[in-house]
């Protein structure tokens, strides 16, 4: 991966001068649409090679600070409690943290006992946060010891489709990850866009000029032209 140098510029394309401590040099800045790199890692379910394991599925790859920490405990429990929803959407979860496999397994046993859930997805040991640094999961000004709570949604073609970043002490929202995954899958199936605050089954947006007959064939109902620039359709498949 090539090294990229970022020179900040103002509205008139002028170079903005920053203190040297604020200048960034990175090997890779993950962006939506990027092909996610392959890697091998030890997990609570054995050695995993990412591309082979992920083949044919969507993946929610996420970082969290450490085992036996309070916010992470609630996150793992929440993700585990949605097991049927992940399966229904064809999504695999993969956690990434620097805690050892032994620590994570003991911690998961406590989570399962406390929350009456089954942690059925692999959780990887990222020694020295090596992968977390490559994937932009370590933000030094937030914490130099722990990764932030970063999530990638990766499609079956291994392309990044969503990136979420949460601070260390704010837990992520499981419903939001699933909401966005369903919106992306709707987009892939139908070409529809989704409005603000959309949930599965809500009206969608027809953002192109397809014929009405195509809309009816795709969605089973006709569209409504609210404004020249806003066309919506209900009863999404």
The residues carrying an active-site annotation are 72
| String of DSSP letters for the chain | ---EE---B-TTSPBPP--GGG--EES----TTPBPPP-EEEETTEEEEHHHHHTTSEEEEEE-S-TT-HHHHHHHHHHHHTHHHHHHTTEEEEEEESS-HHHHHHHHHHHHHHH-----S-EEE-GGGHHHHHTT---TTT-SSS--EEEEEE-TTSBEEEEEEE-TTS---HHHHHHHHHHHHHHHHH--B--TT--TTS-EE--S---HHHHHHHHSS-EEEEETTEEEE-S--
């Amino acid at each position: 991966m090539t090294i990229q140098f970022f020179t900040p510029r103002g509205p008139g394309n002028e170079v903005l001068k920053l203190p040297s401590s604020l200048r960034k040099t990175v090997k890779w800045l993950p962006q939506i649409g990027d092909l996610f790199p392959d890697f091998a890692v030890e997990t609570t379910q054995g050695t995993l090679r990412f591309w082979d394991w992920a083949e044919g599925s969507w993946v929610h790859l996420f970082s969290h600070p450490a085992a036996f920490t309070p916010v992470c405990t609630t996150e793992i429990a929440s993700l585990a409690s949605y097991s049927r929803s992940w399966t229904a959407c064809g999504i695999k979860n993969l956690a990434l943290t620097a805690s050892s496999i032994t620590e994570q397994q003991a911690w998961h046993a406590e989570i399962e006992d406390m929350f009456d859930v089954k942690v059925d997805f692999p959780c990887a040991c990222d020694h020295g946060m090596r992968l977390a640094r490559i994937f932009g999961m370590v933000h030094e000004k937030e914490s130099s010891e722990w990764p932030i709570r970063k999530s990638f949604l990766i499609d079956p073609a291994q392309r990044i489709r969503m990136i979420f970043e949460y601070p260390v002490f704010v837990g992520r929202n499981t419903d939001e990850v699933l909401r966005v995954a369903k919106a992306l899958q709707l987009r892939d199936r139908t070409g529809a866009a989704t409005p603000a605050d959309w949930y599965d089954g809500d009206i969608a947006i027809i953002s192109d000029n397809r014929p009405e007959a195509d809309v009816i064939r795709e969605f089973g109902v006709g569209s409504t032209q609210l404004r020249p620039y806003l066309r919506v359709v209900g009863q999404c498949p």
